[in-house]
């Protein structure tokens, strides 16, 4: 299993500013991902955080808007840049522990972002 | 990429009744199908999953069935309890060989005491 800690848990930000969300896993993981969950909606994959290289972004998400870092196996950050009210959402970090194929994906508690 | 459809969007049952949530997927190569439960304000948590080499899996009051030919899988909850009230999401791998997930739209289950 894996315990995932995200911070901050919530924030209220001014439009035009940027927020960096941190994700720390308590054990080595093979894969880390960032999802967005708008209020009352499902989870949408933003990108796969690759260790030591550029993240792999899904359609509709770009590096300039959502830069991601993953300097080691257990830590990743997601930055929401030049925020607008449309970025208000819950951002979730996810990780799959090392070993096996298609093992359980664990989630952080989420970061609730409100842009005003 | 994968496309996952889920229904119903809301489901209300009486305590003790059964609940069934259904999902379809598009990629015939998908081989792993998890179900997540998300309580209000909490993180999604895996409750059961199934791999494509089996047709059914049970864990106490929860079961999942998979029909690979029809490309659909279902979550069955028996003897529902008020604490089962939550949003349930099905998922499938986003692309063949990837471990990122594509989620269904979610089902809000309300168990009436």
In this complex, do B93 and A109 lie within 8 Å of one another by their Cβ atoms?
no
**Positive or negative CA dihedral for A39, B97, B6, B88?**
negative
Best mutation target among A3, A36, A102 (most B Cβ atoms within 10 Å) is A102
User: Is pLDDT of B2 > 70?
Assistant: yes
Tokens of A74: 């257990």
Query: Is it the case that residue A97 has pLDDT exceeding 90?
Result: no
- Residue pair B45/B37 in contact (Cβ under 8 Å)? The answer is yes
Question: Do B105 and A42 make contact, defined as CB atoms within 8 angstroms?
Answer: yes
Smallest CA–CA separation between A43 and chain B, in Å?
Answer: 6
pLDDT surpasses 80 at A65: yes
pLDDT in tens, B11-67: 999 999 999 999 999 998 888 999 999 999 999 999 999 998 889 999 999 999 999
Q: Residue A48: list chain B partners with CB under 8 A.
A: 98, 100
Region A57-81: mean pLDDT is 96
- What CA–CA distance (Å, rounded) separates B10 from A107? 24
Nearest CB neighbour to A42, from listed B32, B89, B94: B89
Using CB atoms, which residue from B43, B49, B98 is nearest to A109? Answer: B43
pLDDT at A2: 84
Share of chain A above pLDDT 90, in %: 81
Contacts of B89 in chain A (CB under 8 A): 42-43
Quick: pLDDT tens for B53-73: 889 999 999 999 999 999 999
Query: Can you tell me the distance from the alpha carbon of B89 to that of A63, in angstroms, rounded to the nearest whole number?
Result: 28
Residue A18 has pLDDT above 60, yes or no: yes
Task: Please answer whether residues A68 and A77 qualify as being in contact, where contact means their C-beta atoms are separated by less than 8 angstroms.
Answer: yes
| Cβ of residue B78 closer than 8 Å to a chain A Cβ | no
For range A4-30, the mean pLDDT: 95
**Contact call for A105 and B101, based on CB within 8 A:** yes
Among A43-52, B11-20, B95-104, the range with the most confident prediction by mean pLDDT is B11-20
Q: Is A105 on the interface with B (CB under 8 A)?
A: yes
Distances from the Cα of A25 to the Cα of A108, B38, B95, angstroms = 9, 20, 24
């Amino acid at each position: 299993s894996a315990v995932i800690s995200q911070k901050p848990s919530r924030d209220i930000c001014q439009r035009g500013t940027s927020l960096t969300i941190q994700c720390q896993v308590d054990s080595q993981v093979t894969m880390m991902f960032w999802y967005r969950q708008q209020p009352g909606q499902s989870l949408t994959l933003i990108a796969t955080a690759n260790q030591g290289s550029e993240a792999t972004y899904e359609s509709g998400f770009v590096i300039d808007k959502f830069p991601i870092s993953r300097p080691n196996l257990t830590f990743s950050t997601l930055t929401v840049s030049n925020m607008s009210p449309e970025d208000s959402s819950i951002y979730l970090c996810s990780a799959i522990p090392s070993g096996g194929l298609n093992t359980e994906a664990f989630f952080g508690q989420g970061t609730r972002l409100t842009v005003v | 990429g994968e496309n996952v459809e889920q229904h119903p969007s809301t489901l209300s049952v009486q305590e003790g009744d059964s609940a069934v949530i259904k999902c379809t997927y598009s990629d015939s190569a998908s081989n792993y199908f998890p179900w997540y439960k998300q309580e209000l304000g909490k993180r999604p948590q895996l409750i059961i999953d199934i791999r494509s080499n089996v047709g059914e899996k049970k864990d106490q009051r929860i079961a999942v069935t998979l029909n690979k030919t029809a490309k659909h899988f279902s979550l069955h909850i028996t003897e529902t309890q008020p604490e089962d009230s939550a949003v349930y999401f099905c998922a499938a791998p986003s692309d063949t060989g990837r471990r990122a997930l594509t989620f269904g739209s979610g089902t809000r289950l309300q168990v009436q005491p």
